């Protein structure tokens, strides 16, 4: 008489409830995960259980193989390792799954484990000023006519007509470029501010928006026109903060904008000169600063007779 095999002599296989997850891992501090495959009921035969990690392309090592249960084996431990690849990535979810290697093997729930690797390696980006934006010099935009010093002898003003847009013909605008390194996932707003604002420069704060995959963006600050002679002024533009999971770089988050000396006065060397009738009187004008721009002197005198202010 033969008594047939009964009561599941080969066992019933599943994932231990203690390791059924779900689990969240990261590349830096929580990189190892142990999953236990167990056999309940009988353990009289040698059996093979396949395990796979679905959705992985190398981010997790050890996620594929065959668990070899010898007679008497009740559990086998599978160890998974998260690779630290220094590649910016958003959250990634994988499915660990067991399945029969051959026919006749029985499974019971749970047979799967959900595993998530957290976003890593500055996936949203690291922000700073570009090297070319760290220091910029601009000129002061002039009004149409710049008033000179009043001559003590004359009862009127003389004006200078600028030949360019700014003192010395320089651009009055500074274009500052912010760069996004590491990852470029998602939209990010970068908040900036001039830490020592004045009426000579505008705007003094703002928000620079980056769309997903955008690597650079720029904003402008401009010198504001006036007619007051001024020494060079230095302004500090600082990246204040970013939103979301992005961060500011540890350096190059401050840029310097210099408005050069401007509106240099033009004046007569002497306020009085005299000559006999038929003679010529010569008046000399001087101007401060670098004198690297072309100027034209206009007379607004009203006298009909000889006028030392006439050009």
User: Domains in the chain: how many in total?
Assistant: 2
Answer whether residue 289 shows pLDDT above 70: no
Q: What is the pLDDT averaged over residues 223-230? A: 76
Last residue of a domain, one of 117, 142, 173: 117
d(CA 257, CA 146): 24
Q: Give the Cβ contact number of residue 285 at 10 Å.
A: 14
Listed residues 62, 93, 117: the one ending a domain: 117
Asked whether the predicted pLDDT for residue 240 surpasses 70, the reply is: yes
- Residue 289 DSSP label: T
pTM recorded for the entire structure: 0.69
Question: How much is the average pLDDT of 118-128?
Answer: 94
In whole angstroms, give the CA distance from residue 110 to residue 113: 8
Share of the chain above pLDDT 90, in %: 56
Residues 72 and 100 in one domain: yes
Residues 6+ apart with CB under 8 A from 184: 88, 124, 125, 210, 212, 213, 214, 215
Q: 231 in a domain, yes or no?
A: yes
Structural domain that includes position 66: 12-117
Shared-domain flag, residues 170 and 99:
no
pLDDT at residue 152 tops 50: no
Lowest-pLDDT choice from 35-39, 58-62, 125-129, 131-135: 58-62
């Amino acid at each position: 008489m033969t008594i047939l095999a009964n009561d599941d002599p080969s066992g019933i296989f599943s994932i231990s409830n203690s390791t059924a997850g779900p689990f969240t891992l990261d590349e830096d501090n929580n990189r190892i995960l142990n999953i236990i495959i167990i056999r309940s009921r009988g353990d009289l035969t040698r059996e093979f259980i396949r395990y796979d990690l679905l959705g992985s392309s190398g981010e997790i090592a050890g996620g594929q193989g065959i668990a070899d249960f010898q007679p008497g084996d009740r559990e086998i431990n599978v160890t998974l390792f998260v690779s630290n690849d220094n590649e910016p990535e958003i959250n990634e979810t994988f499915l660990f799954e067991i399945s029969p290697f051959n026919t006749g093997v029985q499974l019971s729930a749970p047979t799967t484990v959900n595993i998530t690797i957290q976003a890593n390696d500055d996936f949203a980006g690291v922000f700073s000023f570009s090297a070319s934006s760290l220091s910029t010099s601009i000129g002061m935009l002039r009004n149409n006519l710049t008033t000179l010093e009043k001559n003590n002898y004359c009862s009127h003003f003389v004006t200078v007509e600028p030949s360019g847009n700014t003192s010395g013909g320089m651009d009055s605008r500074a274009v500052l470029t912010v760069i996004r390194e590491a990852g470029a996932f998602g939209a990010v707003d970068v908040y900036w501010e001039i830490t020592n604002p004045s009426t000579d420069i505008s705007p003094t704060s703002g928000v620079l928006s980056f769309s997903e995959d955008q690597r650079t963006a720029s904003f402008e600050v401009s010198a504001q026109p006036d007619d007051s002679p001024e020494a060079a002024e230095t302004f500090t533009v600082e990246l204040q903060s970013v939103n979301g999971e992005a961060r500011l770089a540890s350096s190059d988050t401050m840029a310097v904008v210099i408005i050069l000396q401007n509106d240099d006065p033009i004046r007569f060397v002497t306020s009085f000169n005299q000559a006999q009738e038929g003679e010529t009187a010569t008046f000399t004008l001087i101007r401060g600063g670098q004198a690297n721009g072309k100027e034209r002197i206009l007379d607004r005198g009203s006298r009909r007779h000889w006028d030392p202010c006439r050009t």
